[in-house]
């Protein structure tokens, strides 16, 4: 046997032994590189062919090619063996099917959103449409059309964020009354939930971004009794029957007569004295309401001799304080999920 032939036989023996000794895929690959890689032993032999007399080169090349072919076959067998071993190992692993699973994190609905949805569901059942409008309004929708002209002191009471001389972040959802009346003719029955903004210092009762639910019903023969009935029904739905609702005379430029609506303080149950939540009155204010002012109807080209209607605007966070017996509105937005998840 030629010298090269003997070298190759020896090399193949060592190659096979190294493969047999390889404990894992990675070691297998290291063996491959050591023999067949760019600087491997076989490659070096191949390079040496150039130093042989020209007549011997073809035979030497053939010998090396045959050896490489055989080595590749052995290598592929070895890697097949490894794969089979991995599969076996995987199959042999025991799985404890009784082991408790890791519960996936699931979201929950924020209580303010739930209040809004429940209130809207109540009105929808009574034939009201739910409408959504812009959070940036021109002063016409927010004030003028609601019977609050430019020099009216009520504008000051809204502490608004003005964006330009005429555009502002809406401080209430009442502009949706105007947008709806402009678009449709009576009868109208809508609720309009959404975000509102006021330049209020944040404390237990105030956020500078909060939510209101606006309601509007316009038709023939609509009166204050309808308003009381609907709002009392809504409170029963949201709070249950243990809480009462009362209407207190008040003033809003866009309603006449106007009322503020209170519900029994959930903390002292109306008992009052020394209650930190209601300040001792026994009542929590939910928002304003009243009969739509004839000036507003006229502005919309609705004849106040024919049509009448009621409107209300309630703070969703206020409804939330009351429903969930929470003592601070900031709790609704401070992302303490353990706390919020309880309030369903």
Interface ranges with ligand DAH (CB under 6 A): 172, 174, 214, 252, 255, 258, 287-290, 311-313
Bridge partners of 215, per DSSP, are 191, 312
Q: How far apart are the first and last CA of the chain?
A: 89
At residue 262, φ and ψ (nearest 5 deg) are -120, 155
At residue 216, φ and ψ (nearest 5 deg) are -150, 130
* Residue whose CB is less far from ligand DAH, 64 or 214: 214
State the minimum distance, in angstroms, from the CB of residue 260 to ligand DAH: 8
Distance CA 155, CA 141 (A): 13
- How far is the CA of 216 from the CAs of 80, 110, 131, 268, in angstroms? 76, 26, 11, 32
State the minimum distance, in angstroms, from the CB of residue 299 to ligand DAH: 15
Distance CA 59, CA 4 (A): 10
State the minimum distance, in angstroms, from the CB of residue 290 to ligand DAH: 4
State the minimum distance, in angstroms, from the CB of residue 258 to ligand DAH: 6
Nearest position to ligand DAH, beta carbon: 288
Q: Two tokens at 235? A: 């409170």
* Residue whose CB is less far from ligand DAH, 255 or 322: 255
State the minimum distance, in angstroms, from the CB of residue 101 to ligand DAH: 48
State the minimum distance, in angstroms, from the CB of residue 293 to ligand DAH: 9
State the minimum distance, in angstroms, from the CB of residue 144 to ligand DAH: 15
* Residue whose CB is less far from ligand DAH, 252 or 307: 252
Starting at the edge strand found earlier in the chain, the sheet holding 161-162 runs 136-138, 167-169, 161-162
State the minimum distance, in angstroms, from the CB of residue 192 to ligand DAH: 10
Q: Cβ distance 285 to 318 under 8 Å? A: yes
Q: Tokens 């390889």 appear where? A: 22
Distance CA 139, CA 192 (A): 18
- How far is the CA of 41 from the CAs of 11, 14, 77, 104, in angstroms? 8, 11, 21, 54
State the minimum distance, in angstroms, from the CB of residue 324 to ligand DAH: 22
* Residue whose CB is less far from ligand DAH, 71 or 320: 320
Helix (H) or strand (E) holding 206: none
289 Cβ partners below 8 Å, 6+ apart? 227, 231, 247, 255, 258, 259, 260, 261, 310, 311, 312, 313
Q: What dihedral do alpha carbons 187, 193, 195, 196 form, nearest 10°?
A: 50
* Residue whose CB is less far from ligand DAH, 36 or 154: 154
* Residue whose CB is less far from ligand DAH, 282 or 288: 288
């Amino acid at each position: 046997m030629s010298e090269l032939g003997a070298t190759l036989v020896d090399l193949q023996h060592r190659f096979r032994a190294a493969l047999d000794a390889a404990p894992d895929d990675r070691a297998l690959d290291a063996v491959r590189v050591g023999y067949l890689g760019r600087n491997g032993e076989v490659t070096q032999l191949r390079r040496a062919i150039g130093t042989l007399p020209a007549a011997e080169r073809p035979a030497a090349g053939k010998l090396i090619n045959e050896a490489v072919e055989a080595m590749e076959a052995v290598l592929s067998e070895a890697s097949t063996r490894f794969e089979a071993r991995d599969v076996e190992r995987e199959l042999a692993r025991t799985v404890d099917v009784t082991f408790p699973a890791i519960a996936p994190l699931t979201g929950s609905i924020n209580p303010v959103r739930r209040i809004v949805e429940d209130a809207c569901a109540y009105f929808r059942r009574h034939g009201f449409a739910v409408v959504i409008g812009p959070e940036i309004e021109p002063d016409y929708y927010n004030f003028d059309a609601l019977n609050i002209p430019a020099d009216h002191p009520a504008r000051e009471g809204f502490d608004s964020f003005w964006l330009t001389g005429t555009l502002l972040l809406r401080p209430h959802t009442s502009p949706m009354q105007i947008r709806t009346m402009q678009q449709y003719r009576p009868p109208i029955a809508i609720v309009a939930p959404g975000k509102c903004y006021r330049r209020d210092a944040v404390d237990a009762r105030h956020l500078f971004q909060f939510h209101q639910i606006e309601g509007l019903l316009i038709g023939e023969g609509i009166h204050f009794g309808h308003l009381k009935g609907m709002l009392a029904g809504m409170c029963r739905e949201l709070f249950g029957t243990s809480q009462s609702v009362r209407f207190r005379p008040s003033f809003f430029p866009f309603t006449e007569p106007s009322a503020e609506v209170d519900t029994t303080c959930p903390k002292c149950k109306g008992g009052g004295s020394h209650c930190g939540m209601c300040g001792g009155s026994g009542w929590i204010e939910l928002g304003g309401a009243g009969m739509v002012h004839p000036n507003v109807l006229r502005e919309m080209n609705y004849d106040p001799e024919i049509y009448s209607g009621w409107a209300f605007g309630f703070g969703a966070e206020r409804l939330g304080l009351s429903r969930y017996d929470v003592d601070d509105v900031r709790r609704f937005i401070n992302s303490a999920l353990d706390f919020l998840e309880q309030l369903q």
